[in-house]
Structure 1
Amino acid sequence: MIALLSGGTGGAKLARALAEALADPADLAVIANVADDVWVYGVHVSPDPDLVTYWLADLIDPRGYGIRGDSWHVMEALAAYGRDPWFRLGDRDLALCLIRTELLRAGRRKTVAQQAVADAVGVRTRVLPATDTELRTRVRAAGSWFDFQEFMVRERARGPIEAVEVEAADDAAPTREVEAALHSARLIVIGPSNPVISIGPILAVRGVRGALAARTVPAIAVSPFVGGRAVKGPTDAFCAFAGIESSARGIANAYAGLVDGIVADEPVDGLPHRVTDTRMDDRAGRARVAQAVLSLGRELGARIPPTTTRSEGAKAP
């Protein structure tokens, strides 16, 4: 019913809210960025799909990443043995990465491996890697190239950002599950994720941008900016590099031809919009943004039936 393009935190929060609003959370398919994926400690880590999954399962740690209440024995042991645990994974988080890695090493597709992670934590909403191809976002900053996680974690996103590229994007194709989700959706939503390094790699997958451009159903973007600034992370810096204005108008221009409306905290002249407080700091905030998306979608012609709101503590979507 709804296909949501998502990176990390903002898109993941919206995924949770939409899954709670729909009568059946399986009617939501989240198409997630995989260009941030990394092999570390012998396991395959897929940060954005996992972040979406942990939000959907109501497992997310209050820090905004990882699993709530996780232990850190493996990282502590690596440090004690003289290794550098620069990319920190909690023990339960690592266990789910091991499930994914076991399937990948057995030759299974990334989509199948991610589904196993979702199944393990009881998530019914489909979390779909944008492609089964190995993509890799690289960032050049201060004269040096870095893999994305190295730039974000080891380098603490220190700029200035000079270039961004997504390796292997030209050879990547959307999975059949992603194609089916886009073609069968009644509403397509581009979540409030970084348009350069989160949504950009999804749109760079051959055929995805074309599918959105040729859509026959409404598509809506949700702005990641609040009061002209990103809520968290390096979105402002990446948008400045890419020439994207930190405003609802900037997001509308970035997705020109791909969306029919926008949800933001300010109006956009010439584009159907819903103006609302787009902060999703709590459940009420997430529900408010989800309802704005659904309301605008219906106004634009999306055939979405009446929605519901599950109570706190309800079974995970």
Structure 2
Amino acid sequence: MTQIVVLTGGVGGAKLALGLSHILPDGALTAIVNTGDDFRHLGLHVSPDVDTLLYTLAGKANAAQGWGREGESWAFMAAVRELDGPDWFALGDGDMALHVLRTHRMAQGESLSQVTASFAARWNIASRIMPMSDDPVATMLATDDGLMEFQRYFVEQRCAPVVRAILFEGAEKARPAPGVVDAILSADAVLIAPSNPFLSVDPLLAVPGVRSALARTSAPVVAVSPLINGKAVKGPTAKLMGELHMPVDNDSIAQHYAGLIDAMLIDSGDPCDGTDIAIARCATLMTTLADKMRVAQAALDLATRLRA
């Protein structure tokens, strides 16, 4: 296989992308990244999932938490607190550079795609990183505490409010970023990372051109389940499934992606009995680089078997 596309968002997706980048030739991987988490903070355009992938593939990510920069300092946030500014969303000193430069360059007329590609090139990232859209799409959660933008729910409220529905404002008018549809249609395989299906993958699928490209591509589409033994490794996936009245199991994940995926990779000990798509298993917990490469290879092997 020469061209692989991964739909990704957040830490779990970045782990799979890192594994793929280590087993594929340079230039063979295209990551299409969720931007529903993007928002304005202190006047800056913040793209959390894009930045997590940039840091991860550049070898700059905080190894312990999976997001943010390794060796970060926090003088800026200390000064913000001193002046009684909003500190619920922490911006590290090094991290600030991306947000300031992105905001400045977009104000000068560059698109999010152009700025992202420039950062990736500057850090010698061989894989292509594409935002799902250059148009604004905002993930919003209808909760028992009212309607919340994603970062307020996820960071400020720590996913505590009960969620009743998830909305993607602007998605119906958004267009896929340049190259996104072509990448999907020309891929040898498309992988859906073990990112949160509802908060990280669904924003991608809400962009009409992305969903239709997945339906049209001749490439096998393989999802990697975010569940292990009925639990999410990180984040509110299992909590959301319960609140949305879905059984917390792989069958629910497969049904959620019905009509878009041809197969799913799940953890070695987990069942998935209620679907007619192909199922493969491996140990899907990704802690070390070797783990990430193993899961990436298992997903590619499954796609190869489908093509055969």
**TM-score, normalised with respect to structure 1:** 0.91
Matching residue of 2:272: 268
Change (3 A) 1:276 1:152: same
Instruction: State how far apart, in whole Å, the 1-side matches of 2:100 and 2:117 are.
Output: 13
User: Tell me, what secondary structure is at the counterpart of 2:277?
Assistant: coil
Matching residue of 1:258: 260
Q: Is the 8 A contact 2:5 2:189 kept in 1?
A: yes
Q: Is the 8 A contact 1:4 1:189 kept in 2?
A: yes
Instruction: State how far apart, in whole Å, the 2-side matches of 1:11 and 1:244 are.
Output: 22
Is 2:278 aligned against 1:277?
no
Q: Is the 8 A contact 2:5 2:29 kept in 1?
A: yes
AA aligned to 1:246 is V
**TM-score, normalised with respect to structure 2:** 0.94
Deviations 1:282-310 (A, max 9, x none): 112111101101111111117xxxxxxxx
Matching residue of 1:298: 304
Q: Is the 8 A contact 2:185 2:219 kept in 1?
A: no
Q: Is the 8 A contact 1:244 1:251 kept in 2?
A: no
Matching residue of 1:81: 83
Matching residue of 2:65: 63
- Cα distance, 1:183 vs structure 2: 1.4
Identical positions, percent: 38
Instruction: State how far apart, in whole Å, the 1-side matches of 2:169 and 2:79 are.
Output: 34
CA RMSD of aligned residues (A): 1.4
Is 2:239 aligned against 1:245?
no
Q: Is the 8 A contact 1:195 1:239 kept in 2?
A: no
- Cα distance, 1:117 vs structure 2: 2.3
Matching residue of 1:44: 45
Matching residue of 1:309: none
Is 2:34 aligned against 1:33?
yes
Q: Is the 8 A contact 2:222 2:299 kept in 1?
A: yes
Instruction: State how far apart, in whole Å, the 2-side matches of 1:31 and 1:97 are.
Output: 20
- Cα distance, 1:244 vs structure 2: 3.8
AA aligned to 1:134 is P
Q: Is the 8 A contact 1:60 1:68 kept in 2?
A: yes
User: Tell me, what secondary structure is at the counterpart of 1:249?
Assistant: helix
Q: Is the 8 A contact 1:29 1:128 kept in 2?
A: yes
- Cα distance, 1:267 vs structure 2: 4.8
Matching residue of 1:54: 55
Matching residue of 1:307: none
Matching residue of 1:311: none
Matching residue of 1:217: 219
- Cα distance, 1:238 vs structure 2: 2.0
Q: Is the 8 A contact 1:225 1:231 kept in 2?
A: yes
Matching residue of 1:289: 295
Change (3 A) 1:244 1:186: farther
Deviations 1:148-197 (A, max 9, x none): 10111111211211221110011011122101211111100011011111
Instruction: State how far apart, in whole Å, the 1-side matches of 2:120 and 2:98 are.
Output: 9
- Cα distance, 1:89 vs structure 2: 1.2
Q: Is the 8 A contact 2:164 2:244 kept in 1?
A: no
Which structure 1 residue ranges, 4+ long, deviate > 4 Å from structure 2?
Answer: none
AA aligned to 2:156 is R
Deviations 1:229-269 (A, max 9, x none): 10011111222234443222221111111111111013534
AA aligned to 1:247 is D
